Chains A and B, each alone.
Chain A
Amino acid sequence: MAALLAIASPRVRADIVEASEFPDMAERYNVYAVPKIIVNETTEFVGAQPEGAFVGYVAQAAGLQEGPRPAE
């Protein structure tokens, strides 16, 4: 989903990070369960999300007052 949003918007970029190979980052972001998603260091959530909710988190992190939405 992260990659799809990056493809759809020039404002979005997506890194997929293999947590066990980057333990410093996993520790920094408190990754205890996967997938864990961090957006702009300010918003985070764990687990697969429906598209609407995922977009909501991204919007929230990028300054829009949308917030996560229920599944469409």
Chain B
Amino acid sequence: MPFLNDQDAAFVRKRLERELSHDVTLEFFAPSTGGLTLPGQDAEIAEYTKQILTEVAGLSPKIHLNAHSLIAEPEVAQRLGITRTPATAVIGAEDYGVRFYGMPAGYEFATLLELILDVSKGSPALAEGSKDVLGKLQEDAHIQVFVTPT
């Protein structure tokens, strides 16, 4: 059964058509391939996450999905800073460091959609004061936002 019903898929397709500018690549990392699972990892969640991403990528020619295995492709994971799965790096004209960890179902599907649109746009409309402050940062900032799907 698809994650998005026809009505939702049509809605998302329309938003993507209207709002996507630059192409977006979703680099998805599952814990393993070939039916091998690791203790403590939920292969079903990873599989369902991949299904959701596949459906989203199918709604726009500007969205590309690459599925990786954390174990089989450690160098790709390292380059993108991925250490846990399921993980999705959302990459636009460049890699802005935006990652989604877990399954983007429920309310979090909307979060994923916004991430895709924001990354595609590439230049957020922030207040001048915010841009000033960000421009002055002397150290890196790693923001982790914890959310739940319900």
Contacts and interface: CB of A to CB of B under 8 A. Distances in A.
Interface of A: 2-9, 11-22, 25-26, 29, 31, 34-40, 51-52, 55-56, 58-59, 61-64, 66, 69, 72
B115 interface: yes
Determine the interface band of chain B, counting residues with CB < 8 A from chain A.
Answer: 35 or more
Contacts of A17: 101-102, 144-147
B108 interface: yes
- Dominant secondary structure at the A interface: mixed
Nearest to B40: A24
B148 A37 contact: no
A39 B118 contact: no
B149 A29 contact: no
B90 to A, nearest CB: 8
